[in-house]
Structure 1
């Protein structure tokens, strides 16, 4: 699975003009299931993200995790993270999991993050979403598992 995470002071996702997910301080997690991914990869990615020490401690150093801070996660499906731009000018997305598998793994990832006692808000799989955020830092990381 592939994820782009951003440390945020706030983030929200809207569908058709309605806010469907909103968090204060925490992580915006854009996630994409890739060909060959499975539930084990989802669990591995959730564990990795929850333990990343990317939040400031009392000395201002990035030394605290999402679990340590009690922050929330806004999880948004983002198949374009699978985009291959190595040939031509139009990205190819053939490395992304097929839609039914992608949605199942997206739901699995949400459940895996929630199982770590993290408050989770979500986007809507396959929807045209408007995501807004205030990036804190900015801190943005790419993860592949």
Structure 2
């Protein structure tokens, strides 16, 4: 799975002008299931993200996790993270997982974050979503479950 993690002061997602997810301080995680992802990839990625120390401590250093600050997570599916831009001007998305399994892995990822005690809001898999956020820092981190065993 691939994830783009943004530290935010607030974020929200709407579908057809209907608010479906909103958080204050925490993480906006754009996530994409990739072909070949194992069944345990969502839980492993969730644990890595939940423990990511990118929030400021009292000394101003990035030393706290989202749980440490009492933050929340907004999880939004984004198959375009699978973009292959090596050739031409039109990205290819053939490495993204098929929709049925991709949705299952996406939901497993959100559930894994919840199981770690984090408040989680989600987007709507496969929908045309509008995402608004205030990136804090800005802090944006790329993570791929294939980068670690």
Q: Please indicate, yes or no, whether the TM-score normalized by the shorter chain is above 0.5.
A: yes
Where does the alignment leave 5 or more consecutive residues of structure 1 unmatched?
A: none
SS at match of 2:40: helix
- Residue 30 of structure 1 corresponds to which residue in structure 2? 30
Hey, which bits of structure 1, 4+ residues long, moved more than 6 A? none
TM-score normalised by length of structure 1: 0.99
- Residue 74 of structure 1 corresponds to which residue in structure 2? 74
Residue by residue, what CA displacement relative to the aligned partner does 1:76-131 show, whole Å, maximum 9, x if unpaired?
Answer: 00000000000100000001000011000001001100000000000000000000
SS at match of 1:42: helix
**Is 2:46 the partner of 1:84?**
no
- Residue 135 of structure 1 corresponds to which residue in structure 2? 135
- Residue 56 of structure 1 corresponds to which residue in structure 2? 56
- Residue 9 of structure 1 corresponds to which residue in structure 2? 9
- Residue 113 of structure 1 corresponds to which residue in structure 2? 113
Residue by residue, what CA displacement relative to the aligned partner does 1:25-54 show, whole Å, maximum 9, x if unpaired?
Answer: 000000000001122111110000000110
For 1:60 and 1:44, locate their aligned partners in 2 and report how far apart those are by CA, in whole Å: 28
8 Å contact from structure 1 (residues 38, 105) kept in 2:
no
TM-score normalised by length of structure 2: 0.96
For 1:67 and 1:35, locate their aligned partners in 2 and report how far apart those are by CA, in whole Å: 30
How many positions carry a matched residue from both structures? 145
Residue by residue, what CA displacement relative to the aligned partner does 1:43-82 show, whole Å, maximum 9, x if unpaired?
Answer: 1100000001100000100000112111000000000000
Where does the alignment leave 5 or more consecutive residues of structure 2 unmatched?
A: none
